[in-house]
Structure 1
Amino acid sequence: MCNVCGYGTAKRPEFSKHMKIHTGDKHTVEKPYMCGECGYKTAESSHLFRHMRTHTGERPYKCGQCDYSAAQKSNLGNHLLTHTGEKPFKCDQCDYSAAQKRTLNIHTAAKHTGEKPYMCGECGFRTTQRSSLSQHMRRHTGKGTFKCDQCDYSAVQKANLDYHIAAKHTGEKPYKCDQCDYFAAKKSHLYNHLLTHTGEKPFKCDQCDFSAAQKINLVTHQTTHTGDKPYMCGECGYRAAQRSNLSQHMRRHTGKGTFKCDQCDYYAAQKTNLDYHIASKHTGDKPYMCGECGYRTAFKSNLSQHMRTHTGEKPYKCDQCDYSTEWRNALVYHKAKHTGDKPYMCGECEYRTVQKSDLSQHMRTHTGKKPY
């Protein structure tokens, strides 16, 4: 196993090849071009020129069909295959095919070999790709090239920082849906939203008949097959399939929230949650009313959910039995009966639960707090 990054392989030639990544030994080629930002060295000036885009955030290659842009022309070429539907890379062990070779490699490792050679020395996270490990390591180092000047957020890519500022601070959402009052900060988010109107679900699971309108939902679903939860909380042992879920969970321990209520000491990680808090706790403004029973709410999305109690619609379906429900969190709670997963653990005793709200209630038995 590599003592630098945790990479491991059964083949000695592969290991020797890997070690050259760290030693820079590629037939002792001289590398006179060095990056002044991070120390990266290369034998060719053109490689250094491309590398510098990771620091400047420059992405000169634009997709003509969406707002995707790339630092390298080859990456744009790979991206365009997502629009044409072409999938030239075929798996030799099943009928899976992919638009990019990198995606095929991930599939092969995840579904056939099970190999995850790159391991984090801090928390044991394992992955199929070195780039994924590098991204993960930034959680521990806190390293990001682009810093937000309004909070402590940092990003590796300028595009991510721009999106963060629009979504969290300025509230700018220039892309509007022409079928409802939805607005988005990114064109790609509007595209994903439009699928909720058309009903199109282009992302298919290769192990069952599940399909999703958004890729992130498919990725989340696939963890029900693999059971993979690589992100672990060092405070309480909570594990998550996605880094964003772990980040949300960590706020329970840190008490950290970006958006503060100016009328009380409430903090929220997202502006929408703060807006909801102000409307429900302070202003009492509830402009959305049900025509069937007079129910009122501060948010249109809540009214849409409420209407299901009248229509009987149950859009959230279990993929392991015939259970369906009106509420997403109810489905999560139900699925725990199949998986036995109880990610929220009490630090005082052995109590574990499926939902964070249950843990909050349980903690009152230790603190003696009586909020009502």
Structure 2
Amino acid sequence: MANPSCRGSTEGLCPGYPGNETGGLRPGHPGNETGGLGTGHPGNETDERKPYKCDQCDYSAPQKSHLDQHLTKHTGEKPYMCGECGYRTAYKSHLSVHMRTHTGDKPYTCDQCDYAAARKSHLDRHLTKHTGDKPYMCGECGYRAAQKSTLSDHMRTHTGEKSYKCDQCDYSAARKGHLDYHLAKHTGDKPYMCGECGYRAAQKYTLSRHMRTHTGNKPYKCDQCDYSAAQKSTLDQHLANHTGEKPYMCGECGYRTARKFNLSLHMKTHTGENPYKCDQCDYSAAQKSTLDQHLAKHTGEKPYMCGECGYRTARKSGLSKHVRTHTGEKPYKCDQCDYSAAQKSTLDQHLAKHTGEKPYMCGECGYRTARKSGLSKHMRTHTGEKPYKCDQCDYSAAHKSSLVIHLAIHTGDKPYKCDQCDYSATRKFTLELHLRKHTGEKPYMCGECGYRTAQKSDLSKHMITHTGEKPFKCNQCDFSTGRKSSLDIHLTKHTGKKPFKCGQCDYSAVQKCDLVRHLRKHTGEKPYICGECGYRTAKKSTLSRHMKTHTGDKPYKCDQCDYSATRKFTLELHLRKHTGEKPYMCGECGYRTSQRSDLSKHMRTHTGEKTYNCD
């Protein structure tokens, strides 16, 4: 056993002392991780002399003191207690280190700057900042670290190992610090309190960070510009702007990031993990900050208010963004053109136009996008998730913008007015699209055929006619389509759902636009008029077909003869003459035809129905 008289100090430890992390250790010391291990050392895997056996598991040790330390894991015994705060530990050396948090004692000093630390391991980590030495390298992605423990933590991003388990729920973590943080959720214990505002925290370092909001202290300085930060992690993120280094890589899709935290968040887009649960509804989120934002919907709390216009929001960041609408400030500058933005996320989206980078990929269908939010929205086309709920009816939506539009149905609010006609809209964006009808502006052009349109979404739909791409798949049959709206319509064939009801008859429709067209049968409204001859119709598509009678345009060509048609549907009917296809069959006599209308006529020979009466 180690000499007890040696345990009170940190340097010159006796042989065998488990806290001696420096050189000169005698063979058998458990902290000596360097070469020259002696017989009996627990890290020397070639030596089998471990006579001290645990009677509760298969652990064995070369020294009895090591076994005694191990046994405390089974017994939970923590005999050493701090008289200041009640902290308990199984090791006397840990108590000695802990006491320095009360005394402020920092015996380990850096010989290159004025840094001092309470622990030698902290000083060793600090010294690597001066030397730049990162001897530990990841074999998977080339990431390098100054500490072996940091590399071990990093490796778990590849293995997915989470060895620290919560004994009160099924939570597990890759790092003990994360587990300790989680356990505070069960106990509710927040022993650290701010003397300025009463803020309480479960961890001392969280309180330390909070105090800087009062003092304005930003001790972490960038050595390449005049930037400073209140937290080291924030400085590390900033430094990546200078180096461009992105050491954390996703093994699923190749996404890279400068921050481990961002990689952890990104991985949840593949696993679908949403560990943060709302205790008032069935909402769950991948990030705690997202859950906090959601909870404000239940409480209605909006503590942040704009002094200019009285605007209130639940988030401080939301207020900061809002204030820029008054100041016009756009602090985020593009280094490749003269574009600037009020928000960093907007600049990041813009930069993707220069790089063409689309790091976010869907594991289901291979869809790629430049924005994480774009991937999150896309994933809902596969999961069917509709997290945005209307509080006035049972409507739900996959996108927040869709819910905002829906809410206007209840309020009738259309604040955006056209200054050239009496049109009004619920959204500014919708008004801007409408204005193009007056100006004739069609800024979106197809590079294949020169087709132009006023809306970007229409161009995206048009491009599918060239590529033939059909990314939207039905999960109940083999149907696929180039448009999400077409998939939504198709899915109703499986569900039979027709939510849009006519108030004047028993008609119901899958789409609202179908109901609007149907209502014109009751009202007699025919809003679409031909400028050539005054012909009016209830449908825009009918007017488009009619206009071809004036232009003589027949864009749909048969590839087997010189036939051409004004409508694609008419061409498809014609092609059946070449193929001999007759998909419509009479169930009574087996008669087959290429056109549905012909089958309807034929059926009257069986029913005797005579629909045409002389008046």
- TM-score class, shorter: 0.5 to 0.7
- 2:45 matched residue in structure 1: 24
Q: 1:102 aligns with which of 114, 124, 139?
A: 124
1:201-255 deviation line (CA, Å, top 9, x unaligned): 1223445543221122123233344544333222211123333322211111122
Q: Following superposition of structure 1 onto structure 2, how do residues 164-243 of structure 1 map, counting pairs within 5 Å?
A: 164-167=182-185, 173=190, 175-180=192-197, 182-243=199-260
In structure 1, runs of 5+ residues without a counterpart are 1-13
- 2:63 corresponds to 1:44: yes
- 1:277 matched residue in structure 2: 294
- 1:7 matched residue in structure 2: none
Q: Are the counterparts in 1 of residues 134 and 147 from structure 2 also a CA contact under 8 Å? A: no
Q: Following superposition of structure 1 onto structure 2, how do residues 147-158 of structure 1 map, counting pairs within 5 Å?
A: 147-154=166-173, 157=176
Query: In percent, how many aligned pairs have the same letter?
Result: 47
**Structure with max Cα Rg:** 2
2:219 maps to a residue whose letter is P
In structure 2, runs of 5+ residues without a counterpart are 1-32, 382-459, 461-470, 473-482, 489-615
1:178-205 deviation line (CA, Å, top 9, x unaligned): 5457543323212211112211112234
1:258-310 deviation line (CA, Å, top 9, x unaligned): 23447765321345423422544x67554654342132323455335534544
2-side partners of 1:129 and 1:359: how far apart? 35
Aligned Cα root-mean-square deviation (Å): 5.3
1:247 maps to a residue whose letter is S
- 2:136 matched residue in structure 1: 116
1:308-355 deviation line (CA, Å, top 9, x unaligned): 5446778889999x99976454566678799997643455558452x3
Larger relative contact order, structure 1 or 2 (CA cutoff 8 Å, min sep 6) = 1
Change over 3 Å in CA distance of 1:34–1:252 after alignment to 2: same
- 2:109 matched residue in structure 1: 88
Q: Are the counterparts in 1 of residues 247 and 256 from structure 2 also a CA contact under 8 Å? A: yes
Q: Are the counterparts in 1 of residues 42 and 61 from structure 2 also a CA contact under 8 Å? A: no
Q: What secondary structure, in the 3-state scheme, does the structure 1 residue paired with 2:136 have?
A: coil
Q: Higher mean Cα deviation, 178-187 or 232-241? A: 178-187
Q: What secondary structure, in the 3-state scheme, does the structure 2 residue paired with 1:150 have?
A: coil
1-side partners of 2:151 and 2:345: how far apart? 31
1-side partners of 2:247 and 2:279: how far apart? 37
Q: Following superposition of structure 1 onto structure 2, how do residues 59-70 of structure 1 map, counting pairs within 5 Å?
A: none
Change over 3 Å in CA distance of 1:275–1:60 after alignment to 2: same
1-side partners of 2:175 and 2:106: how far apart? 29
Q: Are the counterparts in 1 of residues 192 and 200 from structure 2 also a CA contact under 8 Å? A: yes
Q: What secondary structure, in the 3-state scheme, does the structure 2 residue paired with 1:102 have?
A: helix
Q: 2:275 aligns with which of 215, 240, 258?
A: 258
1-side partners of 2:213 and 2:351: how far apart? 24
2:136 maps to a residue whose letter is K
1-side partners of 2:95 and 2:351: how far apart? 41
1-side partners of 2:99 and 2:333: how far apart? 34
Change over 3 Å in CA distance of 1:57–1:317 after alignment to 2: farther
- 2:308 matched residue in structure 1: 292
2:207 maps to a residue whose letter is L
Q: Are the counterparts in 1 of residues 194 and 211 from structure 2 also a CA contact under 8 Å? A: yes
TM-score (norm 2): 0.43
Q: 2:152 aligns with which of 130, 134, 154?
A: 134
How many residue pairs align between the two structures?
A: 343
Q: Are the counterparts in 1 of residues 50 and 62 from structure 2 also a CA contact under 8 Å? A: yes
Q: Following superposition of structure 1 onto structure 2, how do residues 333-344 of structure 1 map, counting pairs within 5 Å?
A: 343-344=359-360
TM-score (norm 1): 0.65
- 1:76 matched residue in structure 2: 97
| Aligned-pair CA distance for 1:88 | 3.1
1-side partners of 2:45 and 2:377: how far apart? 55
- 2:266 matched residue in structure 1: 249
Q: Are the counterparts in 1 of residues 222 and 235 from structure 2 also a CA contact under 8 Å? A: yes
Q: Are the counterparts in 1 of residues 220 and 232 from structure 2 also a CA contact under 8 Å? A: yes
2-side partners of 1:68 and 1:212: how far apart? 34
2-side partners of 1:327 and 1:180: how far apart? 30
Change over 3 Å in CA distance of 1:88–1:148 after alignment to 2: same
2-side partners of 1:38 and 1:102: how far apart? 34
| Aligned-pair CA distance for 1:32 | 2.6
